[in-house]
Amino acid sequence: DEVATNDSIVADTIGRTPDVVYTLSSKLYTADPSAHVFEGKLYVYPSHDFESGIPEDDLGSHFNMEDYHVFSMDSVGGEVTDHGLALHIDDVPWAGRQMWAPDAAEKEGEYFLYFPVKDKKDIFHIGVAKSDSPAGPFKALDLPIEGSYSMDPAVFEDTDGRYYMYFGGIWGGQLQQWKDGKYLGEDQYPTDDEPAIAPKIALMNDDMVSFAEEPKDVLVLDKNGDPIKAGDNARRFFEAAWVHRYNDTYYLSYSTGDTHNIAYAIADNPYGPFTYQGVILDPVLGWTNHHSIVEYQGKWWLFFHDSSMSGGKTHLRSVKMTELIHNPDGTILRMNAFVE
Ligand code: FUB
């Protein structure tokens, strides 16, 4: 499907149309699905979109979400349960506005909902809420994770029992306002020839509510071993990091933002560096593209969203899922799920 012409230009054909795509809810607008298998069921932790009337801008102010719902199902294509309100912004003491893409993790029977939200000074941090059920409701801690910033947390459990949080996103996600864990108070973007801003990784402490280390850069390299450059908009990281492990290879997938792809890169360890491979999912209807990948009942599944249910409104999205195929050589079959 993909022809590499030289190191910086990749000429792509359009991805294959998936055979079957399931929509999870026809009642709620939802987005940014993070899927996990808990207690033998498939649980999905999405953003909950709604019409708040805030005009669209490049900072994503129109994504003005206020709460989360959790979905679950025990068979793909079967009934999807909406477990109701899982967490509301009014119940997060430090929160100001904009509850963006969440994730969840389980450890020793306790469930953790990780959520990015702006604080009362309009700066994104990542909060945690706990529950004894994967469906919630979740109770938020009084403060965000110390040392957390920006948004789009994704918590990956490795086979050795360690948990890592990947996070970050540029533009409205504010990652460009941080350097070495310090808040710069303004945008500082690299020039087009400099390495792109990297997503972050931090090992989680056993308590699952704090980092065991300073967040580090997750490098994405091209096939020559050079960092993907900030001006390489078709391949550079923008937001929506997700990591899955398949056959001892770590796959980092992410949105390229203004070029609207879900791209992926591989490594032999969770910290990377990761080497860019290609596109998993072509642009969907709506500006954002955001996904997760999980194995369930012997198959791999790609969760994503698009704006087809709202007739193309970028801030009113719907979560979908379709099968994800790893090719025999470990590459991932590229898909195009565009629906007008
Ligand atoms: O849903 C709000 C933001 O839009 C997410 O945090 C980003 O990943 C993008 O999908």
Structure tokens at 92: 């997060």
Catalytic residue numbers? Answer: 32, 239
Best of 28, 30, 47 to mutate for ligand 1, by most ligand atoms within 8 A of CB?
47
Q: What is the pLDDT along the chain (340 residues), one digit of tens a residue?
A: 333 333 333 445 688 999 899 999 999 999 999 999 999 999 999 999 999 999 999 999 999 999 999 999 999 999 999 999 999 999 999 999 999 999 999 999 999 999 999 999 999 999 999 999 999 999 999 999 999 999 999 999 999 999 999 999 999 999 999 999 999 999 999 999 999 999 999 999 999 999 999 999 999 999 999 999 999 999 999 999 999 999 999 999 999 999 999 999 999 999 999 999 999 999 999 999 999 999 999 999 999 999 999 999 999 999 999 999 999 999 999 999 988 7
Task: Give the dihedral of Cα atoms 18, 168, 187, 145; nearest 10 deg.
Answer: 150
Burial of 198 (0-12, 13-18, 19+ CB in 10 A): buried
Q: What is the pTM of this model?
A: 0.96
| 186 burial level (CB within 10 Å; 0-12, 13-18, 19+) | exposed
Query: d(Cα 331, Cα 218) in Å, to the nearest integer?
Result: 20
Task: Answer whether 64's CB lies under 8 Å from 54's CB.
Answer: yes
Q: b/e string for 126-160 if b means 16 or more Cβ within 10 A?
A: bbbbebeebbbbbebbeebbeebbbbbbbbbbeee
Taking the C-alpha atoms of 132, 133, 138 and 143 in order, what is their torsion angle to the nearest 10 degrees?
A: 50
**Tokens, residue 145:** 């994770």
DSSP 166: E
**pLDDT value at position 8?**
36
pLDDT at 13: 63
pLDDT of 340 reads 77
Distance CA 151, CA 179 (A): 15
Residues forming beta bridges with residue 129, ordered by sequence position: 113, 140
Distance 181 CA to ligand 1 centre (A): 22
DSSP state letters, 240-252: EEEEEEETTEEEE
pLDDT reported for residue 140: 98
Three-class secondary structure of residue 177 per DSSP: helix
**How many other β-carbons are positioned within 10 Å of the β-carbon of residue 51?**
12
> For atom 1 of ligand 1, which residue has the closest CA?
100
Residues with CB under 6 A from ligand 1: 31-32, 47, 60, 63, 100-101, 151-152, 169, 239-240, 288, 290
Task: Find, among 201, 73, 68, 187, the residue nearest to 139 by Cα.
Answer: 68
Residue 77, amino acid: G
